[in-house]
């Protein structure tokens, strides 16, 4: 009889996603990290989603690949991907999105990636900005009062262009 092997990413992820995962794998290797099977699956699941996904949503889907996945499985993968800069956490949604820029960053090693996020309250999508003007305004305001910033969370809620036309 045929054995019922668990599905692989090949069954579930689009070619575009799998290509991104391959690039991410190379990126990790170049930064002293290993995009292991679990991490790759988690990044793939986040990439395939069109909206931010919660950790337990990821866990549910991950279980279709690995039946014994548990919360630490997901959180460890998320920690790694966050450290590599391959995903972002959206604080206001307690959810995660893929980074739109990291793999295209030309600064080899420690690109100071500072993004802002636009959250559409109608369709739920999140888009990522890299506006130097915002980063500069924040930096200047902090400097003016002697505060040394290390990281800024900027999450803008509103209605996206597409949802305004409906």
Partner DNA sequence: CGCCTTTAGTTATATTATAACGACGGACAG
Partner DNA sequence: CTGTCCGTCGTTATAATATAACTAAAGGCG
Binding site partner of 73, from Zn ion, its own copies, DNA, none, Cβ cut-off 5-8 A by kind: DNA
CA–CA distances in Å: residue 73 to residues 32, 38, 56, 117: 21, 8, 11, 27
Is residue 28 part of an annotated ligand binding site?
A: no
- List Cα–Cα distances, 12 to 55, 111, 158, in angstroms: 19, 31, 32
Say whether 146 sits in a helix, a strand or coil: coil
Write out the H or E segment, with its range, that includes residue 54: none
Give min distance, CB of 25 to DNA, in A: 12
Q: Is 129 in the site for its own copies (CB under 8 A)?
A: yes
Q: Which residues pair with 126 in a beta bridge?
A: 119
Shortest gap between Cβ of 28 and DNA (angstroms)?
9
Annotation-wise, does 111 bind a ligand? no
166 binds its own copies (CB under 8 A): no
Instruction: Check residue 160 for interaction with its own copies (CB under 8 A).
Output: yes
Positions touching DNA (CB under 7 A) are 33-34, 36-39, 54-57, 66, 68-73, 75-77, 80, 94-95
């Amino acid at each position: 009889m045929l054995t019922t092997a668990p599905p692989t990413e090949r069954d579930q992820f689009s070619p575009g996603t799998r290509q991104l995962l391959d690039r991410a794998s190379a990126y990790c290797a170049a930064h002293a990290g290993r995009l292991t099977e679990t991490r790759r699956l988690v990044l793939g699941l986040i990439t395939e989603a069109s909206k931010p996904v919660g950790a337990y949503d990821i866990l549910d889907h991950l279980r279709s690949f690995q039946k014994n996945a548990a919360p630490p499985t997901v959180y460890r993968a998320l920690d790694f991907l966050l450290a590599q800069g391959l995903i972002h956490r959206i604080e206001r949604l307690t959810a995660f999105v893929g980074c739109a820029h990291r793999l295209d960053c030309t600064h080899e090693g420690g690109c100071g990636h500072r993004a802002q996020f636009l959250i559409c309250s109608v369709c739920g999508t999140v888009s990522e900005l890299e506006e130097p003007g915002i980063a500069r305004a924040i930096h200047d305001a902090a400097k003016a009062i002697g505060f040394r910033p290390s990281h800024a969370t900027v999450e803008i809620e509103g209605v996206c262009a597409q949802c305004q036309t409906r």
